[in-house]
Amino acid sequence: MPPKAQDAAGLSYAASGVDLESKDQFTESLGSLMRRTFGPRVIDNPGGFAGLFRLDFNERLFARNYKDPVLVACADGVGTKLKLAIDLNRYDTLGIDLVAMNVNDMIVQGAEPLFFLDYIAIGKVDKSVLTDLVKGMVEGCRRAGCALLGGETAEMPGLYRPGDFDLAGFAVGVVDLDRAIKPTRVEVGDVVLGLASDGIHSNGYSLVRTVVEKAGLDLSSPAPELEPAPKARAKGRKRSAQAAPARTLGEILLTPTRIYVRPIVKLLSSYRVKKVIGGMAHITGSGMSGNLCRALHPKVDAVIDREAWPVPPVFRYLQKHGRIDEEEMRRVFNMGIGYCLIVRPTFAESVKEQLEKLGERVYTIGRIAKGTGQVREIN
């Protein structure tokens, strides 16, 4: 039996939960934000269904001139750190995390990030939330020196509960094939350098949120004991009249993932002939042992000294309140080292000094020995 006329009357996409007008208005408003990340390689394409990016390296316009360019691509998300941000109603750092999780993986191959794309899935368009997310991506792309070339916002009522959303990021870069980093370059005697993380980054947040819930921790309480130790003041320099207020536990847990692109790309560009970097690793989920091994070949091990760097207090705080075993902590979290380089021993000190001048906190954390492709952590 056909439906009654009044049953069909008034049906629309908006009545189904998708407001096309609001979505389109938001999308159109992003142009000025995205252009902040554009360089001369981006080709203007108003109204286009995809972004355009120039790969003509023969023009003097470009600083690089690749002999055998290979495109490098990756995709990643932010995980359940999203849920913590939703609970705190703070979204301005998640875009940085999204970019970081992609570009930090990419530079491990020796690549230079070129552009970034995003995908936002949400139950209902909230312009303030989405604008904060995109602003974070713009800042992340600025730090990484790449263009936010485009993206997609999908409004999907019924699939996402009110207030929930998900993010995915996609990055494309380039590397000269001859200069791509390969595990076969690693040699016995090489030195492992560790670059400090800015805290938890974007892995292990299901465990973080469980600790917060089970221990009844107050995310809105100031947590000065979790702040990193202040840097030493230059001789004769006066202390500021008023110190910055301590961040809350929630703010500390939302500290964005550190982006290592600029110092790593600059370092690699300074060694055009000599291949002093044998391998690199982005330390994410599965910790040091689960990531650094990906930079090794089957005839070597990385022997890591756990006492070679200070563990940021936020990790010990979570460990204490969650009564988490030490091995579990190191299996889940980065424990203060967000990125590793395997360097020829005669260049290790020079590389360390260069990275420190570029703003990184660098520690000599281990050496390469004969083995079977494993990471051995010692106390």
The CATH number assigned to the domain holding 132 equals 3.30.1330.10
Same domain for 100 and 122?
yes
pLDDT in single tens digits along all 379 residues of the chain? 555 544 555 787 777 777 777 767 767 767 788 888 898 888 888 778 888 888 765 555 455 667 888 999 999 999 999 999 999 999 999 999 999 999 999 999 999 999 999 999 999 999 999 999 999 999 999 999 999 999 999 999 999 999 999 999 999 999 999 999 999 999 999 999 999 999 999 999 999 999 999 999 999 999 999 987 666 544 555 555 466 788 999 999 999 999 999 999 999 999 988 889 999 999 999 999 999 999 999 999 999 999 999 999 999 999 999 999 999 999 999 999 999 999 999 999 999 999 999 999 999 999 999 999 999 999 8
Give me the domain span that covers residue 167: 13-179
- Positive or negative CA dihedral for 367, 370, 376, 379? negative
- Is 43 domain-assigned? yes
175/199 same-domain check: no
248, part of any domain: no
In 3D space, the residue among 378, 367, 319, 51 whose CA is nearest the CA of residue 194 turns out to be 367
107/153 same-domain check: yes
Among 179, 209, 244, the domain boundary falls at 179
Regarding whether 101 and 216 lie in a shared domain, the answer is no
pLDDT value of position 234:
43
Per the domain annotation, does 244 fall within a domain? no
> Does 146 lie in the same domain as 17?
yes
In a domain, 5, yes or no: no
Q: Are 142 and 40 in contact (CB under 8 A)?
A: no
Same domain? 111 vs 210: no
Distance (Å, rounded) from C-alpha 215 to C-alpha 46?
51
Extract the tokens encoding 111. 């690549």
In this structure, the answer to whether residues 212 and 338 fall within a common structural domain is: yes
The DSSP bridge partners found for residue 76 are 169
Measured distance between the N- and C-terminal CA atoms of the chain, rounded to whole angstroms: 77
CATH number at residue 280: 3.90.650.10
From CA 274, how far away is CA 278, in angstroms rounded? 11
Torsion of the alpha carbons at 33, 37, 40 and 42, rounded to the nearest 10: -70
Kindly provide the b/e burial profile for residues 133-160, where b requires at least 16 CB atoms within 10 angstroms of the residue's own CB: bbbbbbbbbbbbbbbbbbbebebeeeeb
- Indicate the number of domains in the chain: 2
pTM: 0.89
